[in-house]
Amino acid sequence: MHEESLCSPSDVHTSLSAQKGTEEYSLVLLGDSGVGKTAIVSRILGKDFQEHTRPTVEDLWQIDLKIEEQRCKLKLLDTNGEEAVAKAAIWTENQDGILLVYSVTSRKSFEVIKTLYAKITRNGTIRPPLVILVANKDDCEEGRQVSQRDLLTLAVDLKCPLVETSAKREDATGGVRHLVKHLRRQRRNRDDLRPASN
């Protein structure tokens, strides 16, 4: 079951800080236009797949999800593909995780995620966000322009996890679930390293 809402960034900030003790993660979806970022977000929000969509400007969503039997609050930033490269630094600021989305039917979109990866890792932040590569439109075998081998090679090069998905065929929560599991483990390890207070 999902709870969702569309909020302005300031609304989200207020509502999250009011709920102490809840696990919260901020994730952003970046990728070329038309790769299916909004379709993936819509599926995560529990909506049906739409064949026709409009380009996104910038949407911030908030949702409660159960991952590994534990509830968490996600902030999902859905972005615009045309501006992805120009605004990558802004959109990835203060995020816990980044989904770099491309479409298996577009070679160009695969090249765009390489450019995006280079941009977002360039500034060497102290706590870099986790990145996952998301190959969407996995249902389109006919128009495929990017092979699984290309994806695997890139994932090894960048040392990033990957997920293949289809927002048309399935719920497409794989990328988000994977990121949250890793982030959760990171946070637990960090907590374990903290000195015990008496």
Ligand X SMILES: Nc1nc2c(ncn2[C@@H]2O[C@H](COP(=O)(O)OP(=O)(O)OP(=O)(O)O)[C@@H](O)[C@H]2O)c(=O)[nH]1
Spatial distance between the Cα atoms of 23 and 181, rounded to a whole number of angstroms:
12
Query: What distance lies between CA 109 and its chain's CA centroid?
Result: 16
Is residue 77 within 8 A of residue 26, CB to CB? The reply is: yes
CB atoms < 10 A from the CB of 99, how many?
28
x/- map, 96-135, ligand X, by CB under 6 A: ----------------------------------------
- Segment contacting ligand X by CB under 6 A, of 2-10, 12-20, 162-170, 177-185: 162-170
Alpha carbons 85 and 62: distance in angstroms, whole number: 24
Q: Which does 88 bind (CB under 5 to 8 A by kind): ligand X, Mg ion, none?
A: none
Stretch that binds Mg ion, among 52-60, 120-128, 168-176, 187-195 (CB under 5 A): 52-60
Please name which of 59, 113, 96 lies closest in space to residue 180, comparing C-alpha atoms. 96
145: contact with Mg ion by CB under 5 A: no
Rule CB under 6 A: say whether 167 interacts with ligand X.
yes
β-sheet bridge partners, residue 24: 73
Q: Is 7 exposed, middle or buried (0-12, 13-18, 19+ CB in 10 A)?
A: middle
Q: Which of 22, 50, 115, 147 binds ligand X (CB under 6 A)?
A: 50
Q: Indicate which of Mg ion, ligand X, none lies near residue 15 (CB less than 5 to 8 Å, by partner kind).
A: none
Q: Could you tell which of ligand X, Mg ion, none binds residue 139, using a CB distance below 5 to 8 A set by kind? A: ligand X
Tokens representing 76?
């999902």
**How many whole angstroms from its chain centre is CA 101?**
8
Please state, in angstroms and rounded to a whole number, the distance separating the CA atoms of residues 154 and 109: 13
**Binding residue count for ligand X, defined by CB under 6 A:** 23
Tell me which of 38, 106, 109, 165 binds Mg ion, using CB under 5 A: 38
56 binds Mg ion, rule: CB under 5 A? yes
> Residues in the site for ligand X, rule: CB under 6 A?
31, 33-39, 50-53, 55-56, 80-81, 136-137, 139-140, 166-168
> Residues in the site for Mg ion, rule: CB under 5 A?
37-38, 56
